[in-house]
Chains A and B, each alone.
Chain A
Amino acid sequence: MAGATLSAPTATGAALAQAAPQQATSFTGKLVIIIPYVFLLVFFLVPFFIVFKISLSQTAIAMPPYTPALDFSGGISGIVGQLRELNFDNYLFLTEDPLYLNAYITSVIVAGISTLLTLLVGYPIAYGMSRAPATLRPTLLMLVILPFWTSFLIRVYAWIGILKPEGLLNQLLMSTGIISEPLIILNTYTAIFIGIVYSYLPFMVLPLYSALEKMDYSLVEAAQDLGCPPTTAFWKITFPMSLPGVLAGCLLVFIPAVGEFVIPDLLGGSQTLMIGRTLWNEFNANRDWPVSSAVAVLLLLVLIVPIVIFQHAQARAQEQGR
């Protein structure tokens, strides 16, 4: 997405689509491309440029609370003059205050650890499902998808009652005598890990399952017949063959987890620091639109590489499916 975004910022969707002579020759054929193209340009791509633009402007006590930057009404000379006045103060501000740098680094680390944990939890489930009797598999698949249909907010909320000091987990552990003091889990990073693993588990299991289900298990059998221990056979055959699923699953968990807001806010509390919450607070509590735009631009820069890898993987999977 990144390269394309930067290389074609000014072209309009209509011009792009009309220059497509190869296949879309009829008028309706062109419309099929133009309508969603223009919509996505207006509601997905253009907003990013506005965010970038506002991240370069000054905070002002007004509505909207910023002074305009890059106003194109003044013609070319106006633009040149404005380019000189552009300032990167908001970005400087972000580098000067260690809070933001910490938030970025913490978010990436938390998302990375959570992704690994989700993989560790999800792999046995996906593997077990792929080895289940064929008649049972569609039901198992639906059972994995079903929680995904229930509200994200509700699923995160459900964990508050379980994890809090007087919550169900502590009640259980204390009544069985495993612990005598309640564990403090809510409002710590542990709670964030649990929340992310729980909420994103279906995103990990589904690509893993589809990779493992397609696999030809006679390869594993052949290896075992030739005297290869099951563990070695797993690491030498099964795991490498499931790597596309591992990659897709990890990206589907990692990218949204870095910018996650609901989980750190409800389970992590005020003592944990993650960039999604920082952006939200900067915007809603401090009403500093230019700084929150700069936070968003930098967050996007952090995520651009994984997003491009994800998009390539998607495109490749689509080519293979054809």
Chain B
Amino acid sequence: MNTTWSRFNITSVTLGFAFLYLPIVLLVIFSFNESKLVTVWGGFSTKWYVSLFQNQALIDAAWVTIRVGLISATVATVLGTLAALALTRYTRFRGRVLFSGMVFAPLVMPEVITGLSLLLLFVAVGLDRGFFTLTLAHISFTMCFVAVVVQSRLVTFDRSLEEAAMDLGASPVATFFQVTLPVILPAIVSGWMLAFTLSLDDLVTSSFTSGPGATTLPMKIYSQVRLGVTPEINAACTILIAIVATGVIIASVVNKRREVQRLRDEQAALRG
């Protein structure tokens, strides 16, 4: 029974994936549409990509988005990793319940609440809205996702490795950088990628916390979508999808290679 994959199961998985992928595939197909009508096929054309690269406002927005993403993902990864360490390593400190609540609640918090509350904070302390506040906002909501990803790796981490290093005289800090960090690095890298894509995608929090001169790509796309569906937006979306898909596929292939290498090393070590 364990090896047979029944027809019912194959059908439900196939239909499920069709549902997940068909809208995206259609969007990509119609970005190559000659006609301006998004839903009527008028022949193959790449003209929307050409006009996209002549749209300076869109390019500026993309540049802002990438810079915010790179900075916020990097800071969020450091903070999220620290939070994950605090949660898994220090099982008892005062206010731990509050701390874990503050790590988990943002994962499900509706974005309108996060966005509004951050904006009111920035106004209360007199920070001008713009690139800086945008980046701070992105750090604060993405670090929790990093914390959860890193934490799930730390939970299964073999602590005896660290104990061995410390028995041999390594300081806690040296132990972390030489023993713990290399082991949890794949989780940290996927945490960074998750933070980067979340930052890249974000619309609601960004709209609340950004100011003039710091318009991100989703904000730009959103304002154009409200005016109507155009093939140019399809083209912009297709490029974004291509970038993300390439990144994810490369990362998973690299991860798999590393995993295979690790298993091989372990077997070699066992054989002596």
Q: Which positions in A face B, CB cutoff 8 Å?
A: 1, 4-5, 8, 11, 13, 16-17, 19-20, 22-24, 26, 28-29, 32-33, 35-37, 39-48, 50-51, 54, 64, 121-122, 124-125, 127-129, 131-133, 140, 142-147, 149-155, 157-162, 164, 166-168, 171, 198, 201-202, 205, 217, 221, 251-252, 255-256, 258-262, 266, 276, 279-280, 283-284, 289, 292-293, 296, 299-300, 303, 307, 310-311, 314-315, 318, 321-322
Contact = CB atoms under 8 A, between A and B. Distances in A.
B118 A23 contact: no
Given A128-B9, A202-B20, 14 more contacts: A4-B98, A5-B98, A17-B94, A23-B92, A32-B82, A36-B86, A43-B137, A46-B121, A154-B27, A262-B222, A279-B116, A293-B120, A296-B112, A311-B105
A64 B119 CA distance: 11
A45 B151 CA distance: 21
Contact of B117 (A37, A51, A127, A153): A51
A244 to B, nearest CB: 16
Contact of B221 (A153, A158, A293): A153
B94 A44 contact: no
A160 to B, nearest CB: 5
A307 B89 contact: no
Contacts of A127: 9, 12
Contact of A26 (B24, B30, B124, B172): B172
Contacts of B117: 47-48, 50-51, 296
B123 interface: yes
B56 interface: no
Interface string B1-26: 11101101111110111011101101
Nearest to B79: A36
11 contacts: A20-B93, A23-B92, A39-B139, A43-B121, A127-B9, A149-B197, A157-B233, A158-B27, A251-B108, A256-B111, A300-B113
Given A46-B121, A133-B5, A39 B140 contact: yes
Interface string B78-89: 011011011101
A174 to B, nearest CB: 12
A94 B124 CA distance: 24
A307 B116 contact: no
Contacts of A276: 110, 112
The secondary structure that dominates the A interface is: helix
Interface in B109-158: 109-113, 116-118, 120-121, 123-124, 136-137, 139-140, 143, 147, 151-152, 155-156
A236 B268 CA distance: 46
A85 B113 CA distance: 26
Contact of B104 (A48, A124, A259, A310): A310
Contact of B82 (A16, A36, A161): A36
Contacts of B94: 16-17, 19-20
A259 B143 contact: no
Given A151-B237, A276-B112, A32 B90 contact: yes
B185 interface: no
A162 B98 CA distance: 44
B101 A279 contact: no
Contacts of B208: 283
Contacts of A40: 83, 99, 102-103, 140, 143
Given A150-B240, A153-B222, A292 B116 contact: yes
The secondary structure that dominates the B interface is: helix
Given A23-B90, A276-B112, A28 B172 contact: yes
B37 to A, nearest CB: 8
Contacts of A146: 245, 248
Given A151-B240, A296-B116, A318 B106 contact: no
A122 B15 CA distance: 11
Contacts of B30: 161
Interface in B25-82: 26-27, 30, 38-39, 79-80, 82
Contacts of B191: none
Contacts of A303: 110
A61 B12 CA distance: 57
Residue of B3, B97, B137, B172 with most partner-chain A CB within 10 A: B97
B23 A125 contact: no
A315 B240 CA distance: 35
Residue of A22, A23, A147 with most partner-chain B CB within 10 A: A147
A143 B24 CA distance: 13
B102 to A, nearest CB: 4
B189 interface: no
A142 to B, nearest CB: 6
A133 to B, nearest CB: 6
Contacts of A154: 24, 27, 221, 237, 240-241
B95 A16 contact: yes
